[in-house]
Amino acid sequence: MQVSLNSLYWATFILLTTTQAIQVAPLDTYQIGPYYVQNCKSNNNNMATLLKTMTAALQPAITDLGSTSSSKAYTTFFKDVSRAPYVRTVFSNVTKGVSVATAPGSPSSEPNFICVDARDQVTWDENGQQVDAYTRCGGGEWPAMALLTTPYIVICPLFFTQAAVPVQSSASCLKVRPYLNRFAQGGKSLIVYQVWHLLHELVHYYVYSTEQDSLDVYGVNQCVDLPGGKAMLNAQSYVYYVANIWLGCTKFPTVDTRPSGRFRGVELLETEANSTALKANESIALVVQNVSVQAVPLVQTSGDVDPDLTSRGLRRHKIVYG
Ligand SMILES: [Zn+2]
């Protein structure tokens, strides 16, 4: 696991290195398209709409990644075109909710969202102490958490207080300061939406399944500065790329893809005043190792979800892991 060296960037995921067991209390479970959604109650319809919107929003990026010449948006965030097939596979997996082994030796599973709204719904052991997801949500600090190596993505209460989907217009694009060759904003206005939080966590899910690694660099200019190999691990780089393509953005800083050294463009000393403002809106990824799921979520009946919102229809589903 890697942590951004930039001190402006706080550690946004937590490595749990000891043996843990994650526990999931019996919660309502629905299948929405390929995804499983638990305990989202009155937000089941919202989750269905978000997942459907996210899948549609990924299509322009998937098309872009399949074209013969790389777009400015792609080059800005991923640099080398050789990574395009990998990025495309991640997005394809996201749209299909492909079942993958989230860690070597663990059973394959589709992503499983859990809306946590109280204590004792999702817990795990950490250094001999019981950790509760509701507490880790930080009382409104984090919108979502990917529990890497497990099928679970925790949706925190803060998530549902944020805007769902941005207006799809190039007016929403970030501005570029040409004389600084930087985006003018920290990136928050582009990515703090429910739909992008879901994408962010799903990218972690699929990247981790192949790389066993994750990176959380959030500020847009910091993402532009990442070498392509790091960007490939950084969930927010994927989100910025998709958002820019989806909005039809055309203005980007010029990216110098030459190796660092004397011929590389001068790094600009700019205070990223906006970057710290992102903190309260980040998603978080927890890397959990040696996980065993001790409780099987039980099915409870509820019929209040509109089946028209789903691509495959909702059905009650019993999930069994391990
Ligand atoms: Zn993340």
Nearest to 281 by CA among 177, 206, 187, 203: 187
Query: ∠65-71-76 over CA atoms, to 5°?
Result: 105
* 3-class secondary structure per residue, 95-132: HHCCCEECCCCCCEECCEEEECCCCCCEEEEECCEEEE
pLDDT band of residue 313 (cuts 50, 70, 90) is very low
- Ligand 1 centroid from CA 203, angstroms: 9
Neighbours of ion ligand 1 (CB under 5 A): 216, 235, 283, 285
Give me the pLDDT at residue 258, please.
Answer: 52
Q: Give the DSSP H or E segment for 22.
A: strand 22-24
Spatial distance between the Cα atoms of 177 and 271, rounded to a whole number of angstroms: 14
Q: How many A from CA of 301 to the centre of ligand 1?
A: 33
Question: Is it the case that residue 13 has pLDDT exceeding 80?
Answer: no
Read off the pLDDT of each residue in 119-131 and give the average, rounded to a whole number.
81
Distance CA 15, CA 11 (A): 10
Dihedral of alpha carbons 2, 123, 131, 154, sign: positive
- Tell me: pLDDT of 88 over 70: yes
pLDDT at 278 (0 to 100): 42
CA of 47 to the centre of ligand 1 (A): 19
Q: Give 304 Cα–ligand 1 centroid separation in angstroms.
A: 31
pLDDT tens by residue, 216-254: 999 999 999 999 999 999 999 999 999 999 999 999 998
Q: Give me ligand 1 centre to Cα 135, in Å.
A: 18
DSSP state of 273: T
What confidence score (pLDDT) does residue 40 get? 92
Task: Find the 195 Cα to ligand 1 centroid distance in Å.
Answer: 14
Rounded to whole angstroms, the Cα distance separating 72 from 252 reads 7
Ligand 1 mean position to 3 CA, how many Å?
11
Single pTM value for the model: 0.79
132 CA to middle of ligand 1, Å? 19
What is the rounded distance in angstroms from the CA atom of residue 225 to the CA atom of residue 219? 10
- pLDDT in the model for residue 287: 54
**Which residue in this structure is represented by tokens 């709204």?**
117
Q: Is the pLDDT of residue 263 over 90?
A: no
Q: How far apart are CA 176 and CA 134, in angstroms?
A: 38
- Mean pLDDT value across the chain: 77
Alpha carbon of 175 to ligand 1 centroid (Å): 24
The CA 197 to ligand 1 mean position distance, Å, reads: 9
Q: Among 19-28, 193-202, 297-306, where is mean pLDDT lowest?
A: 297-306
Could you tell me what percent of the chain has a pLDDT over 70? Answer: 72
- Range of lowest pLDDT (83-97, 116-130, 194-208, 219-233): 116-130
